[in-house]
Structure 1
Amino acid sequence: MKVALLSDCYPPRTGGIESQVSDLAAQLVVAGHEVEVFTATAGGPGVDGVRVHRLSTPLALGLPVNPMAAPQVRRLLVAGGFDVAHVHMGVVSPFAWDMAGVTTGLGLPTALTWHCVLDRAARPLGPAVRRWVRRGAALSAVSGFAAQGVRKAAKGAPVAVLPNGIDPSAWRVPDLPTLPALRDARPLRGLAPQDPQARQRRLEGTRPVRVVTASRLAPRKRVGALLAVVAAAHERLGPGAMTVDVYGEGPLRPWLEARVEALGLRDVVRLPGRVTRGELARAWADADVYLSPTRLEAFGIAALEARTTGLPVIARGDSGVREVVTDGLSGLLAADDPGLTDALVRLVADESLRARITRHNRRTPPAQTWDRVVDLAVAEYRRAGA
């Protein structure tokens, strides 16, 4: 099968959609399919047998936007002899929305996958979604949670679940030494030495529980709520009980640094910045708990990666993370932010609970392995063709 993958974002940009579309392309090739990618992201040629058409424009100033790309993509699709188009939709995806119009307008079998929660956008976007359905598009979302908004926009059209995928072998890294990024993480301005009680714990053979998270430092990821949860848990647990490493970059870094100081968390919270996927896997192997504060999370790739490493995951139950974490088995799900605080206190204080969940996660691979996800993707392509 010859597949066209169309997405605003693609490597070298970093993010959830970027990594998933890139990995899906590579996995489809491994499964014997021919794949070409169409994206508005600038960069170099494709790798792993994947040809990449980069429809970027300097007028966009580095953003993955090109409102003039449609005619060129239309010509390439007509000449390319594709069997199916797979368009990947985000919260704000002008390129993908244009591409959905192009592919369905050509009569090319089209699968549309949402990597976002439409929320209040479902109603205004409904007319376009229903037009694509009338043209034969097969709709899907990365989780049942995200599919609810797509169904609302489509007014009852079938919406399948096509989850994000993971390679468990890339996240199972036992017996690795402490990641240098953790020891040498860029400190907050004015960061004081480690709390004396925490230092004493290490000298006595114990150490603080290591809590980690990975997130773009942006309002939508609720990093402010994360700090509030950590501050409340720290107050209840006392000094030296835990450290919290927040991996990622974004516009809120200066605000977060100031907020950490204001909350008195200078000895607890560190901001190591953005690291590679391999470095993140090593960090997770050296950690004890993963904390996710997000709500409008369509899936929770970072949480799935942490769970695959073996970390107990704490997350909101009213998010897409609930589809990769089972409450009490692979992590703890909370109804609200105070519940996140309770769960964090419980896991930090209860070593036996952490150990039990970690054993389960290490012994039980997640359901979203790439072989299964590729089969589901191909089923969507056949549904679009039908």
Structure 2
Amino acid sequence: MRIVHVSDCFAPRVGGIETQVGDLASHQVAAGHEVHVLTATADGEAYRSVTTTPDGVRVHRLASRLVAGLPVNPRGGSLIARRLRALAPDVVHVQAGVLSPFAFQGARAARAADLPLAITWHCMLDGVERPLRLGARALDWDGESAALSAVSDVAAARVAQAFPVDGLPGDVGVLPNGLDLAAWAPAAGTGPRTADGVLRLVATQRVAPRKRTRTLVRTLAAARTVLGDGTVQLTIAGDGPDLARVRREAERLGVAGSLHLLGRVPRAELPALYARHDAFLSPARLEAFGIAALEARASGLPVVALAGTGIGTFVTHEREGLLAGDDAGLVSAVVRLALENGLLAGITAHNRAVPPATAWSDVLAAAEREYARARRLVRF
């Protein structure tokens, strides 16, 4: 099968979607498919290029010098249409976020060429359902002409509300993220590191308002108020526009000495980072899946997160982690891990012994189902 993915961004890891699209594409190549990625992201000074990754994925960069490096292209629609005519794919798989102008140009081009079209959302659509529906209608696609999916049940429910059919929620599939578990499995002989009485928390995320990074700092401060100074430490791996505000918040709350800001950490170094910590903390409300939380859970760490997000796909409360109803609940969960006898050790032992159900064979099978559905929806 010849598969064309369309994604606004495709570069060395700077966000979750890129990692997920890259991993999916490389595993599809390994399964015997011919895979191309069309993207509006430049590679350094290479705005227009076709290269092949070490995994065999053909990457077509259709970037524009006119937009100051942003992953958009005013001529994206015509450029994508030209590539689709040349490639004649069996299916076009659009990878969408809240704002994905290049990806949506790909959806329009695929519909215009009567090609099977699958669209997967990697985000929560809270508050943008109506404008998204109107925009899709203007671009000539909807839930009756494209196979729509999302990366988790909770994200799929939002997509279904955005694209109703006859007044009812639309038919939306779930195409979850996969993980190569061997790369994340914890080394034998390691476990919770609380013998010195310090609970070491870690978060891996973009330091941006949408990810609520300052809530991490407030959680640290509130937990220290209950547990005492020097009892909790927090490491944040990631970079972004909110970094200065995070530092100021830590100074204001008096926890700067217990907060470690590492900046961006290469993905290959994250397993070693997780091995030095006791639990993973995520404050995000609009988390469609949570690939970083999945990686930490596969490394054996208990996950503390908000309920009602995509993290619930692979974390059950008090089994793989603790799910809180609100920010106060996040603080309570951290305190429980520090004080409740056997809780941290029990969850850690479970996560180390039972890997998450994220096999790539299952993800590829889910993608095949979406592609079959896309073929059935093609107009003739």
* Residue 59 (structure 2) pairs with residue 46 (structure 1): no
Asked whether the equivalents of residues 220 and 233 of structure 2 are also in contact (C-alpha less than 8 Å), the reply is no
Which residue of 234, 238, 253 corresponds with 1:248? 238
CA deviations over 1:49-68 (Å, ceiling 9, x no partner) = 11110010111111111121
Q: SS at 2:342's partner residue?
A: helix
5 Å matches for 1:1-386? 1-43=1-43, 45-47=51-53, 48-129=55-136, 131-133=140-142, 136-155=145-164, 156-174=169-187, 206-350=196-340, 352-386=342-376
Cα distance in 2, alignment partners of residues 165 and 282 from structure 1: 20
The letter of the residue matching 1:318 is G
**In 2: Cα distance, 1:134 partner to 1:299 partner:** 21
Residues in 2 aligned to 1:113 and 1:218: alpha-carbon distance in whole angstroms = 23
The number of residue pairs the alignment matches comes to: 362
User: Any conservation in 1 of the 2:143–2:171 contact (CA below 8 Å)?
Assistant: no
Q: Check the 8 A contact 1:129/1:154 in 2, yes or no.
A: no
In the superposition, the TM-score normalised over structure 2's length comes to 0.91
Q: Give the Cα–Cα distance (whole angstroms) in 2 for the partners of residues 170 and 59 of structure 1.
A: 40
Deviation at 1:271, TM superposition (A): 0.4
Greater alpha carbon shift after TM alignment, 205-214 vs 242-251: 205-214
SS in 2 for 1:267: helix
Check whether the contact 1:133–1:157 (CA below 8 A) recurs between aligned residues: no
Identity of aligned residues (%): 48
Q: Please state how far the C-alpha of 1:267 moved relative to its aligned partner.
A: 2.1
Stretch of structure 1 that moved more, 356-365 or 17-26: 356-365
Which residue pairs with 1:187 in the alignment?
none
Closer/same/farther in 2, CA of residues 173 and 278 from structure 1, 3 Å limit: farther
Gaps spanning 5+ residues in structure 2: where? Answer: none
Contact 2:214 / 2:245 at 8 angstroms: preserved in 1?
no
The answer on whether the counterparts of 2:220 and 2:232 sit within 8 Å (CA) in structure 1 is no
Q: Distance in 2 between matches of 1:248 and 1:176?
A: 28
User: Using the alignment, how far apart are the partners of 2:39 and 2:352 within structure 1?
Assistant: 36
C-alpha separation between the residues in 2 aligned to 1:351 and 1:251?
A: 39
Q: Distance in 2 between matches of 1:319 and 1:134?
A: 23
Give secondary structure in 2 for the equivalent of 1:120: coil
- Equivalent pair of 2:94/2:119 in contact (CA under 8 Å): yes
State the Cα distance separating 1:322 from its structure 2 match.
Answer: 1.3
Alpha carbons 2:302, 2:322 under 8 Å: kept:
yes
Q: Residues 20 and 145 from structure 1, CA distance in 2 versus in 1: closer, same or farther, beyond 3 angstroms?
A: same
Paired residues of 2:186 and 2:352 also in contact (CA < 8 A): no
Shift of 1:173: 3.9
Q: Alpha carbon RMSD of aligned pairs, Å?
A: 1.9
* Aligned counterpart, 1:188: none
Q: Per-residue CA shift, 1:75-100, capped at 9, x if unaligned?
A: 11112121000000012111111111
Cα distance in structure 1, aligned partners of 2:226 and 2:144: 57
Note the residue ranges of structure 1 that are not aligned, 5 or more in a row: 178-200
Offset at residue 350 of structure 1 (A): 3.2
What is the DSSP-based 3-state SS (H/G/I as helix, E as strand, rest coil) of the residue aligned with 1:318?
coil
Q: Residue 310 of structure 1 aligns to a residue in which SS?
A: coil
2:271 and 2:299 in contact (8 A); partners too: yes
Which one-letter code corresponds to 2:282 in the other structure? S
Question: TM-score, length-normalised on structure 1?
Answer: 0.90
1:354 Cα deviation after fit: 1.0
- Structure 2 SS opposite 1:232: helix
